[in-house]
Structure 1
Amino acid sequence: MEMMVRSVWLFVFPLLVISIRWIYRWRNPKCKGTLPPGSMGLPLLGETLSLLVTAKSIDIHPFFKERMSRYGPLFKTSVAGRSIVISADPDFNSFLFQQEGKLVEVWYMDSFAKLLRQDTTAASGYVHKYLRHLVLNHFGVETLKHRLLPQLECAINQRLQEWAKQPEVQLKDQTAAMIFEFTAKHMLSYEPEKSSDTIALNLSNFLEGLMAFPLRVPGTAFYRCKKRQQKVIQVISKLVEERMNSGEGGRINKTDFLDQIVEDMRTESFLTKEFATHVLFGILLASFETVSSTIALAIKYLSDHPSLLQQLTEEHEQILNKKRRDCNPGLEDGLEWEDYKSMHFTHNVINESLRLANVAPGILRRVIKDIHVNGYIIPQGWAIMVVPAALQLNPEAFEDPLTFNPSRWKNIGSNATAKNFMAFGGGNRTCAGAEFSKVLMAIFLHVLVTKYRWKKVKGGDVVRAPTLGFANGFTISVLEKEA
């Protein structure tokens, strides 16, 4: 018996020593200097579970807020097996975005990388410039002025007419479907009414699976996300292949996003079918997921603040009255670029909604050379997460930050917001579709407040997990205004 106990102990003791050393090394990563303060959490798991806790508030997610209070605006942690430094320091963030290609590079969480193929989306400077130019060419200001604005107004009118015929609508999901259908048609000439493939449904609430462990295990959020992504990729891949095989005479009017990509495949070696498919998937996802959440949040706050809704309505009715007085034939009801630029209070409502929404929980970069900051070192290979909410809900930058107050934007200069307002990213990676998103939101609000009224049916309570969402959804009933 004694020999058996001794044998077991001889086996267990080395294992115990190895485990203790492994845990120690996990909690105290090697570094040539001093790491920022913080905790690496449990081995492998890190502090992931704390990040995924649902918080019933518009405020900064508790994961970030509690650690900022304990460690300051720069701290280390581990999420989904990755060593990460979290930054809520506006000066450091501004510096960071200027160091792309020098000290940092674009990076995605493993879940996001596996879904969007990081090897293709974390593109070189040349590829990024190409894609940015392509997006601006099809969704930029000039295209908005001369073509997209009236098309957006028409699409939004049609969708709101459909909503008015229904007893109630799930606002965020239905808005996402509306935006998706418009961008998919503009990019791919995709017509969902003629297709049995429901891309919009498969992409709905897609971000929920991106902040999860990248485990392909049935029942997990990532597994469900991956299955839906595969269905969408198959549809897009088929569209790309059909366009590639259509030849020179396949389409008479070559005007959409995909036409340009297929044409450029002749001269750009990086433009493979697989690359094009995943790029199109990523752009489609980005086009509606965040905007639909922001629109839903704006409607929630306008519902809660009747005086602000009245002010917004008056601005848009003044635009219509001016157009009627000018008596431009055929343009009485159609918005023009000058009308959009004159929506000053609307722009404030949009900025305030974007500020509070903070739909993306973080902006990620990977360190390619050791970074020295405030006496600390962030080692090569680590990731850095910039947290927009920590900046946009900072009381030092925005007075009473949790209050919906569009008027605050009347007196905020560009210098004050340069480091504290990151609704569309930062540095040279600022979202190329930013103006398109703001125009879409402005036109949606214009059509809604001038032609319809609504009432909340249920839900609408904001949660963060850590992405923005609504507890029990957000359902409204839309009714046409009496003439």
Structure 2
Amino acid sequence: MWTIGLCIVAVLVIYLSYRLNKWSNPKCNGVLPPGSMGLPLIGETLQLIVPSYSLDLHPFIKKKAQKYGPIFRTSVAGSPIVVSIDPEFNHYIAKQEGRLVEIWYLDSFSKLLTMEGENKKVFDFTAKLFISYDAENSPTKMSEKFTNILGGLMSFPLNIPGTTYHKCLKDKNEAMSMLRKIFKERINSPKRHFEDLLDLAINDMDKEKFLSEDLIINVVFGLLFASFDSISSALSLTLNLLAEHPAVLQELTDEHEAILKNRESPNSILTWDEYKSMTFTHQVINEAFRLGGVAPGLLRRALKDIEFKGYTIPAGWTIMLVNSAIQLNPNTYKDPLAFNPWRWKDLDSLFVSKNFMPFGGGTRLCAGAEYSKTFMATFLHILVTKYRWTKVKGGTIARNPILEFTDGLHIKFSVINN
């Protein structure tokens, strides 16, 4: 009897060892990038989703890159992934959309973002422009829904009650239901005044046959998510950095006060020429985006085996391009974790195109890039010309995985009396 039991245990150990070895050494028609795959199914997910409390690279990615080099393999949420902080490789892959790679999401990303914290006032303003959203009177607080959705982007895709992922799916579905309800109310209304993006889209449905209810709702959801994600985080970080660097704030204020002095009428609205003249403002915005790259990484899926620098990335594998590493490279930016807008004064356009990718690159360059920059410049213009402000408390940075402030960012504003 004991002999039979020992045999069963031995067979089980051999089988598990075989499965573990197979998991740790995936098949490849070449040489895989170095790295480790972690435990079966779980991989190294837990190490990657641990919050980071710095503007620097996530400790997991930094440690792996130091050990294995700028291109390494791992596994997240059951998917084999090649992670790259290599500028040359990242630029190459960004230009291969539709040829070697396609856009891709982990299960947690795809279920939250595909069809189916802070600065909430930025979000409410954008939602008003897109769908005439009334934040004060709406029974559904959409900013809270989007905050919860962000929290689940890198959660383990376990859809059972009590998990972060389950809650995020629930909040996403509630947000989508609200958008669908608004859409149906609009399309059934006898009068439409075309006052927001949703009205314009509905009006074009008769002329553009590709426009459907599902497409419009998902586009609006995507635009709301993009504005909540990038602008609110970047703007909060900018305010925090300005509060900690009074010399930067002073030069920023001087630039915008000069714009006011050069106007024929003090009550004129901000013009495009004035926006283009904001040299130092654009430097401040670039520096904030350089330090606060919002996305943890851009995800692509290899459509075929990819050869690069002696390594082979198998077809079907996920590729994570960590572009924030390019912007924090000490060989590229001196003292990379320092907030120094003046560094942009002498950087030419060629250097910037190769070493600054906060909005992605190639055919997948974020459509909201210029909107984000214009919004932030306009916000800063109004802020420094009409208000005085001080940071009261907060400002502790965390990436979870999106940039946020664990204790909020509390600011006191006062109107300038002219």
The reply to whether residue 37 of structure 1 matches residue 34 of structure 2 is yes
- Whole-angstrom distance in 2 between the partners of 1:288 and 1:84: 27
Match of 1:187 in 2: 130
Code of the residue aligned with 1:300 in structure 2: it is N
Compute the displacement of 1:255 (Å).
Answer: 5.2
2:191 to 250, 269, 272: 250
Task: Please tell me whether residue 300 in structure 1 is matched to residue 243 in structure 2.
Answer: no
How many Å separate the matches in 1 of 2:54 and 2:135?
36
CA distance in 2, matches of 1:260, 1:447: 28
- Which of 213, 220, 227 is residue 287 of structure 1 equivalent to? 227
Q: Tell me, what secondary structure is at the counterpart of 1:225?
A: helix
Mean Cα deviation higher: 237-246 or 253-262: 253-262
Distance in 1 between residues matched to 2:211 and 2:36, nearest whole Å? 42
Query: Counterpart of 1:310?
Result: 250
1:380 is displaced (CA, Å) by 0.5
Cα distance between partner residues in 2 of 1:224 and 1:264: 35
Could you tell me how far apart the structure 1 residues matched to 2:219 and 2:405 are? 29
- For structure 1, the residue ranges without an aligned partner over 5 or more in a row are 122-171
C-alpha displacement at 1:454, in angstroms? 1.9
Matches within 5 A, 1:266-415: 266=206, 271-323=211-263, 326-327=264-265, 332-415=267-350
Provide the rounded CA distance (Å) in 2 between the counterparts of 1:198 and 1:361: 26
Distance 1:18 1:266 in 2: 61
Query: After the TM superposition, which of the residue ranges 458-467 and 439-448 deviates more from structure 2?
Result: 458-467
Deviation at 1:334, TM superposition (A): 1.9
Task: Select 2:171's aligned residue among 215, 219, 228.
Answer: 228
CA spacing shift, 1:291–1:205, aligned 2, 3 Å: farther
Q: For residue 201 of structure 2, what is the aligned residue in structure 1?
A: 261
**Would the aligned equivalents of 1:217 and 1:223 in 2 still touch at CA under 8 Å?**
yes
Give, in angstroms, the shift of residue 11 of structure 1.
2.8
- 1:216 & 1:411 partners in 2: Cα distance? 50
Q: CA deviation at 1:186?
A: 2.2
Q: Answer whether contact 1:77 1:84 (CA < 8 A) is retained.
A: yes
| Aligned residue number for residue 12 of structure 2 | 15
SS class of match (1:418): helix
Q: Does 1:426 align with 2:361?
A: yes
In the alignment, structure 1 residue 210 sits paired with structure 2 residue 153:
yes
Q: What is the rounded CA distance, in whole Å, between the counterparts of 1:47 and 1:436 in structure 2?
A: 36
Cα distance in structure 1, aligned partners of 2:243 and 2:268: 25
Paired residues of 1:457 and 1:476 also in contact (CA < 8 A) = yes
CA deviation map 1:5-47 (0-9, x unaligned) = 2232233222222211111111000011110001111111111
Q: Deviation of residue 445 (structure 1)?
A: 1.0
Counterpart in the other structure of 2:99 = 102
Distance 1:233 1:271 in 2: 17
Q: Is the Cα–Cα contact under 8 Å of residues 99 and 303 in structure 2 kept in the other structure?
A: yes
Contact 1:350 1:442 in 2 (8 A): yes
The Cα offsets for residues 256-277 of structure 1, whole Å up to 9 and x where unpaired, read as 3223433454466654423332
In the alignment, which residue of structure 2 is the partner of 1:141? none
Q: Which residue of 1 aligns with 2:387?
A: 452
Corresponding residue SS for 2:307:
strand
Runs (5+) with no aligned partner, structure 2: none
**Distance in 1, Cα, partners of 2:406 & 2:220:** 31
Distance 1:232-1:417 versus aligned 2 partners, 3 A rule: same
Displacement of 1:408? 0.7
Given the alignment, which residue of 44, 47, 50 partners 1:47? Answer: 44
Residue 275 to residue 403, structure 1, CA distance change in 2 (3 Å): same
Distance across 2 between alignment mates of 1:266 and 1:344: 44
Q: How far apart, in 2, do the equivalents of 1:48 and 1:200 lie?
A: 27
User: SS in structure 1 opposite 2:366?
Assistant: coil
Distance 2:212 2:219 in 1: 11
* Structure 1 position 250, deviation (Å): 3.2
Alpha-carbon contact 1:107-1:364 (below 8 Å) kept: yes
Offset, 1:376? 0.7
Q: Is 2:146–2:228's contact at 8 Å kept on the other side of the alignment?
A: no
SS of the equivalent of 1:353 reads helix
Q: Is the 8 A contact 1:55 1:463 kept in 2?
A: yes
Q: Give the aligned partner of residue 148 of structure 1.
A: none
Distance in 1 separating the partners of 2:87 and 2:160: 39
Kept in 2: contact 1:84–1:384 (CA 8 A) = yes
Relative CO higher for 1 or 2, CA cutoff 8 Å, sep ≥ 6? 1
Q: C-alpha separation between the residues in 1 aligned to 2:272 and 2:149?
A: 33
**Matched residue type, 2:171:** R
Alignment identity in percent? Answer: 50
Quote how far apart the aligned CAs of 1:478 are. 1.7
Q: What SS is found at the alignment partner of 2:185? A: helix
Give yes or no for contact 1:51–1:465 (8 Å, CA) kept in 2: no
TM-score (norm 2): 0.95
* Equivalent residues of 1:39, 1:77 under 8 A apart: yes
Higher helix share: 1
Q: For 2:15 and 2:183, how far apart are their aligned partners in 1?
A: 52
Q: CA deviation at 1:462?
A: 1.7
Other-structure match for 1:468 = 403
Alignment partners' CA distance in 1, 2:33 and 2:415: 56
CA separation in 1, counterparts of 2:213 and 2:157? 25
Amino acid at match of 2:352: T
